[in-house]
Structure 1
Amino acid sequence: MATNILAQRYAKAVFSMAAKHDQQQGIIAELNGFRRLLQQNPSLRAGLLYPFIPRARKIAVLDELGARGLSPLARDFLILLIAKRREHLLAEIIRLLNELLLSSQGLLAIRLNSARALTSQQQNTITRHLAQHFGQQVILQTGVDATLLGGITIQVGQRLIDGSCRGQLEKVRYELSRN
């Protein structure tokens, strides 16, 4: 089964369980904090995410973290991932949970990369056009990717809209190679 489909299933299940207890924001904040903790602590990340570490040891680490403030729902979810050997999906599941939370609030997260930094006026114009196009309030996250050569790429969930020079050149190269 494709990784992103599995991650979507886990994210929807956790979000649904959290919604039953009205803890969506809390659980997502906890998991975001846990992700930051893993990013800042390479040895902890290695201990929990590397597949050759025994499951019992990983669960013991989670139990210790749970004693330091991890909620039972977050702890049980992380233990389930370990038991099913799905730890590698954690970052994608957390990303999807954040999208689900925004969506439940009527917001749409959009990632925009450009070849150079956009002015605030350009960002506002793009945000306004995207909000009109998608019919939702947009949370725009911007980044700079010099490899685009020019133009922009827009990512909405799993969908990528490529309006970059690099993307256009790749399309031309593909078309020429087909002939």
Structure 2
Amino acid sequence: MAELTTLARPYAKAAFQYALEVKDLAGWGKQLATLAAVSRYGVMQKKIASPSLSAQQQAQLLIDACGDELTAPVRNFIVLVAQNKRLLLLPEIYQLFDALKTAQEQAVDVELTTAIALDDASQAKLAEALSTKLARKVNVQTVVDQQLLAGVIIKAGDLVIDGSMRGRLEKLAKAINS
């Protein structure tokens, strides 16, 4: 895994620098996400790894599969990646690009797991509080888990805040049994 990341890093940095220069981080992020998803598909993986196809043919297969989703600069990027026989690294390139983009935007992705779906006002209030606490822009994604009973679990990178009823009951049970 570390080796794949090492190989993918220069491509992710180059794509990020270009996207930053042309002020299109969101566009590049979306297109790289599409490419990563397409390249993960089993049949596509076999085709882009096939030694019987030239680098140009492999790149064209991927470009054709994405259709009109890709801009000319991203297509050129894919051709370059194909020439260096690194198309299978597209998922790692996307992950590294996304991490660079998030750091640039000084944002953090937060996952809120709740027992019931939150209304927009509650979600906005939580996002604002987390933004203040973390001193960053917060991108919130919510997940409903009915096993929580009540409360919320907040995951922001390595930080986990368990404010769920289930979590509190488990802590109480441990304290009683100790």
Name the TM-score class by shorter chain: 0.5 to 0.7
Tell me, in whole angstroms, the C-alpha distance in 2 between the residues paired with 1:165 and 1:7. 44
1:159 aligns with 158
Shift of 1:117: 0.7
Change (3 A) 1:151 1:66: same
Tell me which of 69, 73, 77 is aligned to 1:73: 77
Tell me, in whole angstroms, the C-alpha distance in 2 between the residues paired with 1:134 and 1:171. 25
> Contact (CA 8 Å) 2:113, 2:153: kept in 1 or not?
yes
2:50 aligns with 54
Tell me, in whole angstroms, the C-alpha distance in 2 between the residues paired with 1:118 and 1:133. 20
What secondary structure, in the 3-state scheme, does the structure 1 residue paired with 2:116 have? coil
> Contact (CA 8 Å) 2:111, 2:155: kept in 1 or not?
yes
Structure 1 segment 1-179 matched on structure 2, within 5 A: 1-2=1-2, 9=9, 11-12=12-13, 14-16=15-17, 18-19=19-20, 23-35=24-36, 38=38, 45-49=41-45, 54=50, 56-57=52-53, 60-66=57-63, 69=70, 71-77=75-81, 79=82, 83=86, 86=89, 90=91, 93-156=93-156, 158-163=157-162, 164-167=164-167
Tell me, in whole angstroms, the C-alpha distance in 2 between the residues paired with 1:3 and 1:118. 41
Instruction: For structure 2, list consecutive stretches of 5 or more residues without a partner in the other structure.
Output: none
> Contact (CA 8 Å) 2:4, 2:89: kept in 1 or not?
no
Tell me, in whole angstroms, the C-alpha distance in 2 between the residues paired with 1:31 and 1:114. 30
User: RMSD value over aligned CA atoms?
Assistant: 4.4
Tell me, in whole angstroms, the C-alpha distance in 1 between the residues paired with 2:4 and 2:159. 15
Change (3 A) 1:26 1:58: farther
> Contact (CA 8 Å) 2:8, 2:89: kept in 1 or not?
no
Instruction: For structure 1, list consecutive stretches of 5 or more residues without a partner in the other structure.
Output: none
Higher Rg: 2
Aligned length: 168
> Contact (CA 8 Å) 2:106, 2:136: kept in 1 or not?
yes
Amino acid at match of 1:161: V
What secondary structure, in the 3-state scheme, does the structure 2 residue paired with 1:110 have? strand
Amino acid at match of 1:32: A
**1:33-86, CA deviations, whole angstroms, 9 ceiling, x for partnerless residues?**
3345x39xxxx81123469x6355595343233365552114434x38964854
Amino acid at match of 2:31: E
What secondary structure, in the 3-state scheme, does the structure 1 residue paired with 2:41 have? helix
TM-score (normalised: structure 2): 0.63
